[in-house]
Structure 1
Amino acid sequence: MINVTVIGSGSWGTALSLVLSDGRNKVTLWGREQEIHDIHKNQRENKAYLPGVQLPDGINITSDIDEALAEAELIVLSIPSQSLREVCSHIRPFIKGMPIIVNTAKGLEIKTLSRLSQVIKEELPLYSKNIAVLSGPSHAEEVGRRIPTAIVSAAEDKRIAEYVQDAFMTPYFRVYTNPDVIGVEMAGALKNIIAVATGISDGLGFGDNSKAALITRGLAEIARLGTKMGGELLTFAGLCGVGDLVVTCTSMHSRNRRAGIQIGQGKPLEQVLRDMGMVVEGIKTTRAAYEIAAKNQVDVPITEELHNILFKGLDPKKGVSNLMERSKTHEVEEIVLNRKDW
Structure 2
Amino acid sequence: MIGRFTRAVVTVTALGTLAATAACGVDSGDSSGDGDGTSGAKSKALKVGWSTIYLTPSWMQQTDKMIKDDVAKLKGEGKIADYKVFNANGDTSQQIAQIRAMIQQKYDVILVDAGSSTALNPVVEQAANAGITVVNFDSLVTSEKVVRVGTDQKEWGRMMGQWLGDKLGGKGKIIAFNGPAGVAVSEERWQGAEEALKKYPGIKIAANVHSEYNLAPAAQAFASAYSANPDIDGVFSQGGALSAAALQTLVKQKKKLVPITGENYNGFLKLWQQHGKDGFSSLSTAQPNYLGVIALRAAVAKAGGASVPNQIMVPLPKITDENLTQYVKPDQPDDSYPIQELPQPEIDKLIGK
Q: TM-score scaled by structure 1?
A: 0.28
Of structures 1 and 2, the one with the larger relative CO (CA 8 A, separation 6+) is 2
Which is richer in strand? 2
Which is greater in Rg? 2
Which is richer in helix? 1
Q: TM-score scaled by structure 2?
A: 0.27
